[in-house]
Amino acid sequence: MGLIVFNKLNCAESLSRKPKLAKVRVSKTLGIVYLNSTAMDILGMKPGEYVEFLFDDSKPVSWYISKSDSEKGLVIAKNSASGKVNNKKVALSIHDTYLPGVDAPVYQLAASSTMLSVDYPQAWCILNKIIVDER
């Protein structure tokens, strides 16, 4: 008899799953920017903390996100295991820059930060390519 044993040593979900990409989803209709749990981890953010979105007008498709220590930033609300920013102006601006014809596109967040200026030593680029959504 060829007995095959399935247990937690050979069936762990972590063995069969690819690492999750850090994703940013923009809903034009709802005016919400969603950050998945991987993006929240990379950014080092938790619900209730503040974030700022940055746009480089010298590069027309360059959006960045940065953690803010100031209450001038936009608050991250809890959305199941991830976070969301309720701000129609930001959502519409990002949406209209990248993919004006698609509602709720999903973008990949850069894996490493970029220093934009002294005020923003760690900002992550929101990459301007749509990725397959695995919702």
CA distance 106 to 29: 14
Q: Give pLDDT, residue 9.
A: 62
> pTM of this prediction?
0.76
Residue boundaries of the structural domains of the chain: 20-130
Residue 60 contacts residue 97 (beta carbons within 8 Å): yes
Sign for the pseudo-dihedral over CA of 22, 44, 30, 99: negative
Task: Give pLDDT tens digits for 75-124.
Answer: 999 987 789 999 999 988 888 887 766 766 777 777 677 777 767 878 88
Task: Give pLDDT tens digits for 40-67.
Answer: 988 888 999 999 999 888 876 688 898 8
Q: Retrieve residue 131's tokens.
A: 């990725």
